[in-house]
Amino acid sequence: MTTAQEVRAAARIAEIEAALGDPADPANPVGQARLLEADEAGELLAAGEKALEALNLNAEFVPVELGGRLERIDTLVRVLRQVFRRDVALGLGYGVTSFMAAVNVWTEGDERQQARLAEILLDGGRASVAYHELAHGNDFVRNEFEARVQPDGSFVLHGAKQVINNAARADAWLLFSRTDDAPGSRSHSVLMVERAGVDPERVTVLPRYTTVGVRGCQLAGLDFTEAPVAAEALVGSLGQGVELALRSFQITRSAVPGMALGGADAALRTVVSFALGRRLYRRSVMEIPHARATLGNAFLDLLISDSLSLVGTRAVHLLPEETSVYASAVKYLVPKLLQETMYELSIVLGARFYVRDGEFGGFQKNVRDLPVLSLGHAGSAACQATIIPQLPRLARRAWFQDAPAPAELFQPRTDLPAIPFRRLALASGKDSLSASLVAAVDELPDGSPEEVAVQSLALRLMDELRQIQEQSLTLSLEDRTALASPASFALADRYTVVLAGAAVLGVWREARADGGDPFLADPAWAAAALDRLVRRLGYQPAALPASCAERVHQELLRRFEEHRSFDLYDCPLAG
Amino acid sequence: MTDTTTTVTTSSAQQHTAESLSVWLVDRIAVYLKRSSDQIDATVPLAEYGLDSVAALSLCGDIEEDFDLVLEPTVAWDYPTIEALAAHILEELSTQAGAA
Ligand SMILES: Cc1cc2nc3c(=O)[nH]c(=O)nc-3n(C[C@H](O)[C@H](O)[C@H](O)COP(=O)(O)OP(=O)(O)OC[C@H]3O[C@@H](n4cnc5c(N)ncnc54)[C@H](O)[C@@H]3O)c2cc1C
């Protein structure tokens, strides 16, 4: 059954694809050739921004109740993926920064603030999220930028924020500010400040930073000198900034990596095209077994990443009490998988990987652009550090005890309830996702060789969870902090791989029950994906039936030829 | 309701006082911070010793484990000294024991 939410999502994606056109068409004003020129010039492609404005892309970031289109985080990811597919910089620089800022207001802002920010965004304006300070990086509890509280409740802004996307051109800034001199996690607050509400004499835009990737993004700083702003700027309560940040991050950390999958999709498309066209040793590169396997594995990595991203984003709706861990797992593992995929793909593309223009020029741009996903907005290690202290608690209270997740968690096209912004919990004591893995192990079919492979790989992952549980129980106290030993970080890494496996297994089982997508319902891809994850954990599982890789390869070719996306949606593309 | 200034008995039949809780917390926190217990002052904010927000969330898990209590993860943010935290735990012990 196709639901109304699904119809809206598919129609919106078709609309965006039609508007942005075939990236390979040299006459396309927002095609790859123009995007590469803009990148070389360190600019966001003006025609691209115009096209997104005409599409009113900002509406994607505004909840339906406030006049926008935002109803589901997984849909947001799916829609933005079409923009990231063409240009990561445009995705971040036109839009996602505004979403990252806005989530704070949708979570804790009052009615007036929500209405005002919705109005700004729906008018095509931008919001900046000014959280980080160069001096303190991920250790943002020590940030110094001040909003001094005045006796009448108003504030005086003083200090600087650096490396802020769109700082110079945003209409509103979300400022993470110190409102108390005391150390600790109750000394910061979030303020929504409109540019128009600040005396221009009292704020200076600091010079732009140039970067290796997303060169078009306009990263600058803001320096305030004793600038008064009204009491109404405060979002949520005084002293609640760290908490608000940690909760908003759960939504953005779940969402952004899946958007970037679009960039990796484009890169894989480029390399498939190359491998099919280039002839060596009297055959195409695609017929060289190593190249062929590499491309199949890259497709699997995209499916694994999308499964984890799907579960992470749907968990925001369905399991908001558990999202703290899942969001960090998505933000940690997906960018890492995608970057590794890019490296493997670059080997097949060979010397062309180093070329900056023409048919293959988009590839090096994605190699430079995609790492921003692990750098910006909580680094990889900081995401692991969010998971680590929760491991002992999950080990004691959750694993092998919790009830499995609802089936809808794994169904890409099933409706979801509204985003429960206020129910996101700071730390999680439950894990229904891994419980789904444990529960599935006993019920898996074992008719075909592919099904048998899935079963034994799932068993291996469950075993791994058991080991992670044992090791988590023995984590010493200091090993649960940001200063934990490298072994704790390895434990968090392994746990995210198990979660990715649970996501893959869940997606396959639900697709099999549903039957709508014959490829996703086939155990071949699930076996191949789980095999990759189990090998990633350092095991040497039995060789898969050859049919698994063959099925994945055929699907890759079909989607390439029919211009369909390399993710869970098999979505028609403009080129 | 039990008077929180006196002792509270939990299911494990342990007697807790503000003082015994303080001692327990000082020991825990000393381990976190790699210091000896006599270097921790119960009236100084924990953040002054470098206990960051993530570690503070983790502390909540330990308290829950040892005292069979359910706490807000931010408890160590809201009760920023050992003295304040001990008083709060004692209060929670008596409320939650009363409710059980
Ligand atoms: C292109 C781009 C755009 C950006 N846009 C914005 C924006 O719009 N708004 C904004 O506020 N910020 C923005 N930033 C800033 C960025 O989000 C922060 O700088 C970043 O999250 C902090 O990372 P850092 O690399 O400075 O790391 P640091 O915190 O300096 O960390 C350095 C290293 O220390 C280790 N480390 C740090 N924390 C931990 C931990 N908890 N546990 C273990 N090890 C740890 C890690 O190895 C880490 O790589 C942007 C950055 C870039 C590159």
Q: For residue A369, what pLDDT is reported?
A: 93
Tokens representing A567? 């993710």
Mutate to test the interface with B, among A391, A393, A428 (most CBs of B within 10 A): A393
Lowest mean pLDDT: which of A147-151, A386-390, B95-99? B95-99
pLDDT in tens, A344-361: 999 999 888 888 888 889
How far, in Å, is the centroid of ligand 1 from the Cα of A249? 13
What is the helix (H) or strand (E) element at residue B54, kind and residue range? Answer: helix B53-67
Q: Tell whether A477 lies on the interface with B, counting CB pairs under 8 A.
A: yes
| Higher pLDDT among residues A509 and A209, named by residue | A509
Mean of pLDDT over chain A: 94
Per the CB < 8 A criterion, the answer to whether B79 and B88 are in contact is yes
pLDDT in tens, B34-79: 788 888 898 988 888 877 777 787 788 788 878 888 888 888 889 9
Tokens representing A268? 């894989």
How far, in Å, is the centroid of ligand 1 from the Cα of A238? 25
| pLDDT at A248 > cutoff 90 | yes
pLDDT in tens, A44-95: 999 999 999 999 999 999 999 999 999 999 999 999 999 999 999 999 999 8
Residue owning tokens 């920064």: A97
Q: For residue B4, what pLDDT is reported?
A: 42
Architecture, CATH, for domain A244-406+428-561: Up-down Bundle (1.20)
Q: Is A381 in the pocket of ligand 1 (CB under 6 A)?
A: yes
| pLDDT at A446 > cutoff 70 | yes
Q: Is A211 in the pocket of ligand 1 (CB under 6 A)?
A: yes
Do the two domains A128-237 and A244-406+428-561 of this chain adopt the same fold? no
| Higher pLDDT among residues A271 and B10, named by residue | A271
Phi, psi (deg, nearest 5) at residue A157: -85, 135
Q: How confident is the model at residue A405 (pLDDT cuts 50, 70, 90)?
A: very high
Q: For residue A428, what pLDDT is reported?
A: 79
The distance of Cα A569 from the centroid of its chain, to the nearest Å, equals: 16
Write the DSSP assignment of A347-358 as a string of letters. Answer: HHHGGGGG--SG
Distance CA A423, CA A321 (A): 7
Ligand 1 atom closest to A100 (CA):
8
Q: Is A326 in the pocket of ligand 1 (CB under 6 A)?
A: no
Q: Could you tell me which residues are beta bridge partners of residue A130?
A: A175
Tokens representing A134? 């160069």
Write the DSSP assignment of A479-538 as a string of letters. Answer: GGSTT--HHHHHHHHHHHHHHHHHHHHHHHHHHHHH-S-HHHHSHHHHHHHHHHHHHHTT
Residue owning tokens 């807790």: B16
Mutate to test the interface with B, among A476, A480, A485 (most CBs of B within 10 A): A480
SS3 B94: helix
Residue owning tokens 């990561």: A88
Please state whether the predicted TM-score (pTM) of the whole model is above 0.90: yes
How far, in Å, is the centroid of ligand 1 from the Cα of A448? 47
Three-point CA angle A262, A265, A269, nearest 5°: 145
- Pick the residue whose CA is nearest to atom 42 on ligand 1: A482
The distance of Cα B97 from the centroid of its chain, to the nearest Å, equals: 16
How far, in Å, is the centroid of ligand 1 from the Cα of A140? 9
Distance CA A244, CA A259 (A): 23
DSSP B73: T
Q: For residue B95, what pLDDT is reported?
A: 85
Q: For residue B65, what pLDDT is reported?
A: 78
What is the fold of A128-237?
Butyryl-CoA Dehydrogenase, subunit A; domain 2 (2.40.110)
What is the fold of A4-125?
Butyryl-Coa Dehydrogenase, subunit A; domain 1 (1.10.540)
| pLDDT at B10 > cutoff 70 | no
Q: For residue B14, what pLDDT is reported?
A: 61
Q: For residue B99, what pLDDT is reported?
A: 66
Distance CA A115, CA A62 (A): 10
| pLDDT at B3 > cutoff 60 | no
Q: How confident is the model at residue A313 (pLDDT cuts 50, 70, 90)?
A: very high
Q: Which residue of A has its CA nearest to B56?
A: A481
- Pick the residue whose CA is nearest to atom 2 on ligand 1: A376
| Higher pLDDT among residues A125 and A134, named by residue | A125
- Is A390 in Cβ contact with B47 (below 8 Å)? no
Q: What is the mean pLDDT of residues A389-399?
A: 91
Q: Is A254 in the pocket of ligand 1 (CB under 6 A)?
A: no
Per the CB < 8 A criterion, the answer to whether A109 and A192 are in contact is yes
Q: Could you tell me which residues are beta bridge partners of residue B67?
A: none
Measured CA to CA in angstroms, residue A159 lies from A26, A134, A156, A205, B17 at distances of 46, 12, 10, 12, 45
How far, in Å, is the centroid of ligand 1 from the Cα of A252? 15
Q: How confident is the model at residue A158 (pLDDT cuts 50, 70, 90)?
A: very high
Q: For residue B16, what pLDDT is reported?
A: 83
Q: What is the mean pLDDT of residues A384-398?
A: 90
For a pocket test of ligand 1, which of A138, A166, A174, A209 has the largest count of ligand atoms closer than 8 A to its C-beta? A138
Tell me the residue type at A385.
A
Where are the domains positioned within chain A? 4-125, 128-237, 244-406+428-561
Q: What is the mean pLDDT of residues B11-16?
A: 58
Instruction: For domain B8-99, give the CATH superfamily.
Output: ACP-like (1.10.1200.10)
- Is A242 in Cβ contact with B53 (below 8 Å)? yes
What is the total residue count of chain B? 100
Three-state secondary structure readout of A2-58: CCHHHHHHHHHHHHHHHHHCCCCCCCCCCCHHHHHHHHHCCCCCHHHHHHHHHCCHH
Q: How confident is the model at residue B7 (pLDDT cuts 50, 70, 90)?
A: low
Give the closest-approach CA distance of A246 to chain B in angstroms: 10
What is the helix (H) or strand (E) element at residue A301, kind and residue range? Answer: helix A289-318
Three-point CA angle A405, A407, A408, nearest 5°: 105
- Pick the residue whose CA is nearest to atom 6 on ligand 1: A164
Q: For residue A136, what pLDDT is reported?
A: 86
Q: With pLDDT > 90 as the criterion, what percentage of chain A qualifies?
A: 85
Q: Tell whether A426 lies on the interface with B, counting CB pairs under 8 A.
A: yes
Best CA proximity match to A121, nearest among A145, A143, A100, A151: A100
Q: How confident is the model at residue A426 (pLDDT cuts 50, 70, 90)?
A: confident
- Pick the residue whose CA is nearest to atom 40 on ligand 1: A382
| pLDDT at B11 > cutoff 50 | no
Select the highest-mean-pLDDT range: A107-111, A184-188, A476-480, B79-83: A107-111
- Residues from chain B that touch A427, judged by Cβ atoms under 8 A, are 57, 60-61, 73
Alpha-helical regions (H) of A172-288: 241-277
Q: Is A377 in the pocket of ligand 1 (CB under 6 A)?
A: yes
Q: How confident is the model at residue B100 (pLDDT cuts 50, 70, 90)?
A: low
- Is A182 in Cβ contact with B47 (below 8 Å)? yes
pLDDT in tens, B16-29: 888 888 998 898 88
| pLDDT at A422 > cutoff 80 | yes
Q: Which residue of B has its CA nearest to A481?
A: B55
What is the helix (H) or strand (E) element at residue A225, kind and residue range? Answer: strand A219-229
Mean of pLDDT over chain B: 79
Where are the domains positioned within chain B? 8-99
pLDDT in tens, A254-296: 999 999 999 999 999 999 999 999 888 888 999 999 999 999 9
Q: How confident is the model at residue A1 (pLDDT cuts 50, 70, 90)?
A: low
- Residues from chain A that touch B45, judged by Cβ atoms under 8 A, are 182-184
**Number of A–B residue contacts, CB under 8 Å:** 73
